């Protein structure tokens, strides 16, 4: 029979697993820092790797009187009196229950910082066959097993997760477009989003069309004047939206600039956009 261990310190841990204080629909949701993130076909999944550790122990169930442990290259159990089946010693066994911690860290899953970051972890320990002995020449051997556990993204409202499994991930509701945030998050909107670009023609110098200059911060439209000097435009425009520079700054005509929306690429977002939280699958 499998045993499920629910690691928690209280209700606060449960709340923090689902709702990040101050998160809004427009902010979207994102995998917690330190968690692995995967986005495929608009579905975001977050996971953490756990390490289960069980210590070497004597006696084993099949050699109940082999109670003396000998620490050596591979721990051995020896009998206090008469040996069984002619065996002078047998390899040590494992403690019944594991200690569970974040892989690559000494922090157990019951650590308050782990709960605040990832929430309450309902863990089904792996079977005995998944454990591998780690020989320790000066102390007791250890048996370790790795396990991937899925967690909810930060920013998800708690009620939206009830009755769902985080291993299935989250996605945008029907009618809403998904925007991937830095490869770790998801934002859902029914918005019109267009990449920032430039007019193809510079009326001050038709031989030097405007070109977009991508940069961290606000992107620029650049060209050259008739004397060859660099000229910088006052604003970019939304591409593929029927918008031209002569119409004026888009920010004064129903658009707002989302700087560095994807890497160092700016996008123009049409005003009147509505946002929703992703839904659990």
Kindly report, residue by residue over 33-80, the tens digit of the pLDDT: 989 999 999 999 999 999 999 999 999 999 999 999 999 889 999 998
Kindly report, residue by residue over 237-267, the tens digit of the pLDDT: 999 999 999 999 999 999 999 999 999 999 9
Other C-beta atoms lying within 10 Å of the C-beta of residue 279: 16
Q: What is the token pair recorded at 129?
A: 């066959």
Strand, helix or coil for residue 252: helix
Q: Which residue has the tokens 């990832």?
A: 118
State which residues of the chain have pLDDT below 70. Answer: 1-23
pTM of the model: 0.62
Strand, helix or coil for residue 164: coil
The structural domains of the chain, with segments of one domain joined by +, span: 5-52+98-171, 190-280
């Amino acid at each position: 029979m499998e045993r499920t261990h629910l690691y928690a310190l209280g209700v606060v841990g449960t709340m923090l697993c689902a709702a990040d204080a101050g998160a809004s629909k427009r902010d979207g949701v994102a995998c917690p820092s330190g968690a692995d993130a995967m986005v495929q076909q608009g579905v975001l999944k977050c996971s953490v790797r756990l390490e289960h550790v069980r210590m070497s122990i004597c006696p084993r169930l099949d050699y109940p009187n082999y109670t003396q442990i000998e620490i050596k290259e591979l721990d051995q159990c020896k009998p206090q009196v008469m040996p069984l089946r002619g065996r002078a010693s047998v390899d040590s066994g494992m403690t019944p229950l594991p200690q569970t911690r974040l892989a690559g860290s000494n922090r157990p899953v019951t650590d308050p910082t782990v709960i605040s970051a990832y929430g309450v972890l309902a863990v089904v320990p792996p079977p005995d066959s998944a454990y591998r002995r780690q020989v320790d020449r000066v102390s007791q051997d250890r048996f370790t097993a790795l396990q991937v556990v899925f967690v909810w993204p930060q920013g998800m409202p708690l009620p939206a997760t009830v009755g769902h499994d985080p291993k299935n991930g989250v996605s945008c509701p029907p009618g809403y477009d998904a925007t991937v945030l830095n490869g770790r998050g998801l934002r859902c909107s029914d918005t019109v989003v267009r990449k920032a670009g430039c007019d193809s023609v510079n009326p001050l110098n038709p031989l030097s069309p405007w070109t977009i200059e991508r940069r961290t911060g606000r992107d620029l439209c650049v060209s050259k004047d008739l004397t060859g000097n660099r000229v910088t435009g006052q604003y970019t425009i939304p591409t593929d939206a029927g918008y031209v520079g002569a119409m004026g700054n888009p920010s004064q005509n129903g658009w707002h600039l989302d700087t560095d929306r994807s890497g160092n690429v700016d996008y123009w977002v049409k005003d009147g956009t509505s946002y929703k939280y992703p839904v659990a699958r």
